[in-house]
Amino acid sequence: MRVVDLFCGAGGLSLGSMRAGMEIVGAIDSWDAAIEIYRRNIGDHVRHADIRDVVAVAPMVMDLRPILITGGPPCQDFSTAGLRVEGERAELMTAFAMTVAVVRPQWCLMENVARAQKSLTWARSREILKRAGYGITEIVVDASWYGVAQTRKRLIVVGRRDEADGFLAAEIDAARQARQTTIRDILGEDIGGQIDIHPSRYGCTADWPTDVPGRAPRTASQSSGVSDQQYIFVRPFGGGRGVRSIDEPAPALVRTSREPPAPGYLLNPSRLDLVPVSQVPHLSQQQTSLLQGFPKDWDWSPARRVRDIDQMIANAVPVALAEAIGRVILARHRGESVPATADGFSDWLKAQGVGGQVLRNRRHALGRARRLLGGRLYADIGEELRALEEANGFADLSPSTRSDLRAALRMHADWKASKKEEPVRRKAPRGHHRQV
């Protein structure tokens, strides 16, 4: 699968896609420092361009003949770590959608912050993709369930030409791991020495509070910086807990995550901190890089400013998340995965008077038709039936079997149409991913 990565940054999305088995044939960004790091670590196929200039960028991308265009447009205008005002940077999402619409690759993949899903910019960008013929799967995931040691919630948008909306949501959800990835999973037990600051330096002499659930009284071992359990400080953005057990995920990393606790936090630590903040280490830059999924030997030296490296790490699409989504896309592209038949289809068949063995036969025929279609879930039933007629092996089936497969696809299309007519949308159970 030939891939062009827009807004490639330091290369997190490209690296994850490569690990999934894709071929990165082009990458574009407008930040020279990030481009140099990308070139040093991934390859010379990266180019400098302002993606807002669609007239210049789209032909450049088209010449590379991508099957998939990926991108993580800058999210500060949507992020809780930003001003939450849709402005110039938010419009880069529209530029991404316009480039996809002009180039018309078979697939597109976009990553952004969860709150972008409710933005006017995404509504406009989605309409651009829909008019270009893309079926859209949009799902908010917690990256800690996909091999990333952060509770980083991100909007994943996957588009495919002529596909039905929501065509890949179940498979992305099924790619979740059995448990969340923890800090220990990535960093091991060697998390560094103690920080060299103490609240008393700032006039704080208050006793260690013990009226918090889960917090033990301060012991001699804690006073000496030794604990049966290991902790690390991850500087919270906008309030919240800073001390984290290494047996839980970190919060979503931002540029300042690795900074030591500020005087204000030392004077007034979170009541949810289970050990004194002055007695646990804080993250190093290499550790934030590892938590984002970059390998230990990733060369950040082309960047001249430490602050720039921190920003590139925070901006990156986590490598493990990119790999997990890439594998799901590649499996469907190769026809190795087939959409599961939703339980609602069986309920609808029963309401139509279809039951027993006939119902089971319909479900079986639908699955067989999907396999012949290579897992495709077309938006238009006419296109779907034409693709079925042209599928390898279909003509070799008996007339009755071919008729059954066509009927199953038509009934499934009728069921999808009936769902669109429902006046009330049911809310997903708590704890489930939000799917659209």
Give phi and psi for 160, each to the nearest 5: -140, 135
Q: pLDDT band for 227, please (50, 70, 90 cuts).
A: very low
Phi, psi (deg, nearest 5) at residue 415: -65, -45
Residue among 8, 75, 108, 204 flagged as catalytic? 75
Is residue 429 pLDDT above 80, yes or no?
A: no
- Distance in angstroms (rounded) separating the CA atoms of residues 221 and 206: 19
**Helix, coil or strand: residue 266:** helix
pLDDT score for 228: 54
- Non-local (6+) Cβ contacts of 6 within 8 A are 27, 28, 51, 57, 61, 69, 70, 71, 73, 96, 99
pLDDT at 341: 85
| Single-letter residue type at 152 | R
Assess whether pLDDT exceeds 50 at residue 436.
no
Give CA–CA dist 285/289, Å, rounded: 6
pLDDT for 229 equals 73
Instruction: Give the number of other Cβ atoms within 10 Å of residue 191's Cβ.
Output: 18
**Is residue 75 flagged as an active site residue?**
yes
In order, the DSSP letters of 15-63 are HHHHHHT-EEEEEEES-HHHHHHHHHHT-TTEEE--TT-HHHHHHHHHT
Task: Compute how many other C-beta atoms are within 10 angstroms of the C-beta atom of residue 266.
Answer: 22
Cβ atoms of 75 and 119 within 8 Å: the answer is no
CA atoms within 13 A on the CB side of 386: 7
The percentage of residues in the chain with a pLDDT greater than 70, rounded to a whole number, is: 84
* CA 386 to chain centroid: 34
How large is the C-alpha radius of gyration of the chain?
25
Return the axis-axis angle of helices 12-20 and 319-333, rounded to nearest 10°. 40
Reported as a single tens digit per residue, the pLDDT across 242-251 is: 999 999 999 9
Residue type, 258: R
> Cβ(254)–Cβ(285) under 8 Å?
no
* C-alpha pair distances (Å), 422 with each of 168, 214, 414: 22, 46, 13
Q: What is the pLDDT of residues 312-327, one digit of tens each?
A: 999 999 999 999 999 9
DSSP letter (8 states) at residue 148: -
- Give pLDDT tens digits for 93-104: 999 999 999 999
**Complete domains list, the chain, with CATH:** 2-181+312-333 (3.40.50.150), 193-283 (no CATH), 343-420 (no CATH)
26 vs 160: CA distance, rounded Å: 20
pLDDT of residue 340: 85
**Residue 82 pLDDT exceeds 70:** no
CB 359 within 8 A of CB 350: yes
Asked if pLDDT for residue 199 goes beyond 60, the answer is no
Residues 6+ apart with CB under 8 A from 216: 210, 274
Instruction: Assess contact for 299 and 36: CB atoms under 8 A.
Output: no
One-letter amino acid at 113 equals V
In the structure, what pLDDT confidence band is assigned to residue 86 with cuts at 50, 70 and 90?
Answer: low
